[in-house]
Amino acid sequence: MLANILIALVAALHLGFMYLEMIAWDRPLGRKVFRTSPEFSAASKALAANQGLYNGFLAAGLIWGLWLGDEGFAVKAFFLVCVMVAGLFGAATVNPRIAYVQSMPAALALIALRLGI
């Protein structure tokens, strides 16, 4: 039960990232969250939307795993690992705080999933 709650939270985070990157990127909220200038956000809007789409796919995979219930263990594990890897890559190439915001919640959910709690 705890694992599914954590997985749902990770999915919700990625739906939020999708919104921020696809819709709010060049608006005040998006610029505040990502600490970008109006010029940068305007120039990188298409790239951010693409990134947002990928975050939507991660959320969809996690939701699919939840929908499958107990039969979705492998799907949940696969998408949690994808989230962790994406977060670690982002931390290494963009900002270290991405590891805490993205990878850590996914790692906790994966541990709970593996422990069956």
Residue 6: which pLDDT band, with cuts at 50, 70 and 90?
very high
According to the model, what pLDDT value does residue 99 have?
94
pTM of this structure = 0.93
The residues near 21 (Cβ < 8 Å, ≥ 6 apart) are 30, 48, 49, 51, 52, 55
User: How many CA within 13 A on the CB side of residue 95?
Assistant: 9
Across the range 82-92, mean pLDDT stands at 97
**Confidence label for 71 from pLDDT (cuts 50, 70 and 90):** very high
Confidence of residue 51 (pLDDT cuts 50, 70, 90): very high
Average model confidence (pLDDT) across the chain: 97
